[in-house]
Structure 1
Amino acid sequence: MKKICLLLLPLLLIIMVSCSRENYVESVEGESKIVVEGWIEQGDVPQVILSRSIPINATIDSTTIFNYFIRSAKVTVSDGENEEVLSVKNENGRIPPYVYSGSKMLGEIGKAYVLKVQYLDRVIEATTSIPSVVPIKSAAYVKVNPADTTGFVHIEFNDFVKEKNYYQIETRLDNVEPIFVPALYGNLNDENFISSSVSLQITRGIYVFSKTKYKPYFTDGDLVYIKLRTMSKAGFEFWNSWQNEIVNGRSPIFPANSSLKSNIKGGIGIWQGYGQSTILMQTSNTKRI
């Protein structure tokens, strides 16, 4: 027998993750786990989404699922010098709409950030830092046949050979997707690069709540945000295990039977700092932001 845990990601938003029998027994006999998905990018405020894991015998629909979001926790982020208590904001147009956000503290490269979540009688903690930014060098919209109305985006960047780097590629279709979505096979370990000059094709990720049928490519006229993020080994292991669940399970709702990696003490999920480079592209026209 297995348990189903609810993991809230800002990118795929809701993923059902199969957990071990031991976790199932613990959930039935004790309390559900607190699920954390938190991030801080350089130049931006910290953001955290909280939920409770869902037992396998629970009835879940578009209404009851909101009962598992946590909106009354005390969430604090510290950089060793300053500390900020995050406030819950309701962001219309995205699911889940409840995000704990900072307003003063901005992420800085090289700094460490400690997350502390206090909810009822539980305390959850995690630590992360923001690695160096690796800029996107160029992006191009490529078609197999010039007469096609669809194609793939290709990007280029230069890996820092004197640094150990882990990457994630994300995209967001303007006016279609409210959040950035991880590209399929977009989690990269630089030990697999054959050159410091990296060129690759982006395969769109699966956005769970899309109103249109999934397609791995882009279409003429699409306005696309492309983001290259650097992250820690812990972040890479988390997102790589997530990617394996999507690919092996063949469904973003019911992935395969292994649990996702986590760097959260007292809960499950991820707290990760990111360096990021983002460009805006429409067909072959690109603009760095």
Structure 2
Amino acid sequence: MMKKYILFLLMIVVWSCNDDIFSDGIKLESKLAVEGWIEEGDGPQVILSRTIPINDVVDSTNVLNHVIRSAKITVSDGETTEVLRVKKDNDRIPPFIYFGSEIIGKAGKTYTLKIEYLNRIVEATTSIPNTVPIASAIYEKKNVADTTGYIFIKFDDPVNEKNYYQIATKVDKKEPIFVPAFYGNLDDDNFDSHSVSMQVNRGRLFFPKSKFTPYFTDGDLIFVKLRTMNKEVFNFWNSWQNEIVNSKNPIYPSNTSLKSNIKGGVGIWAGYGQSTVQVKTVPKK
């Protein structure tokens, strides 16, 4: 069975220290937290929750208490409107996700999100940029005798086109979701050449059941994804990355300033172009 992880816990990011009455006389943090995305070639997906007050215990049990499973979530591409359904996904914590299948992500299109829950309405808009394909991806070790290594990828950044990127990886049978790579958020203003070659460092999951390591190991089957995104989405992920780089906990960011494109709540509604390749490591000895 796959180990359970959570990629990032927007539901427990403390964006505000103000509590109010949310429902049934229970005093809860008032904001709705959204982790939503639509990738090219796939349907929309949303994880919805309430933020956890700063003085509460943060563990998987309390996270489950703040998950929202009864909201009406609508996604539109300007032509088709779809109400998302909710399903249980045991490979995630929390194990519930809203999903759609009528709307499939396409580059160049804009997608609106509307969430209705109790007396709250949350809205957001995103778009999917053109995909930039991965030219190559290989597993390399510093020494032949090593049992660990890193991924090196190459891709061509389109000339005269502004692009923001994120590199993410997923280790087969160890990670059920793609995890943003450490230093994996890229602005093409920082590239020296349109031909990009770089090392990919394994990113960190929260609540893992095994010790985190920033490298890959012999015997791993690794999926590498290059996402393109707009500036709003990049700003969110860059603020997230900065918290990790600065050795801060993004669950409780030092300045409570993680970027967001959500109106009426917090979090992110992201559109991604995506190119995914498979990398086989050397057999485990």
- Residue 12 of structure 1 pairs with residue 8 of structure 2: yes
Partner of 1:231: 229
Calculate the TM-score normalised by the size of structure 1. Answer: 0.89
Contact 1:224 1:281 (8 Å CA) reproduced = yes
Deviation at 1:259, TM superposition (A): 2.1
Partner of 1:249: 247
The match for 1:179 among 171, 177, 180 is 177
Residue-pair matches, total = 274
Percent same amino acid among aligned pairs? 61
Map 1:1-289; keep pairs closer than 5 Å: 11-13=7-9, 16-19=12-15, 23-25=16-18, 32-251=30-249, 253-283=251-281
Contact 1:10 1:37 (8 Å CA) reproduced = no
Q: Distance in 1 between matches of 2:71 and 2:203?
A: 31
Q: Distance in 1 between matches of 2:127 and 2:235?
A: 15
Q: Distance in 1 between matches of 2:125 and 2:271?
A: 9
Q: Distance in 2 between matches of 1:13 and 1:101?
A: 18
Deviation at 1:97, TM superposition (A): 1.1
What secondary structure, in the 3-state scheme, does the structure 2 residue paired with 1:171 have? Answer: strand
Partner of 1:3: none
Root-mean-square deviation (CA), in Å?
2.1
Q: Unmatched 5+ residue regions in structure 1?
A: 1-8
Deviation at 1:209, TM superposition (A): 2.7
Q: Distance in 1 between matches of 2:228 and 2:262?
A: 20
Amino acid at match of 2:124: A
Deviation at 1:250, TM superposition (A): 4.2
Provide Cα deviations, 1:156-175, integer angstroms capped at 9, x if missing partner: 00001121000000001110
Provide Cα deviations, 1:8-41, integer angstroms capped at 9, x if missing partner: x96335685354xxx2135589851000110000
Calculate the TM-score normalised by the size of structure 2. Answer: 0.90
Partner of 1:4: none
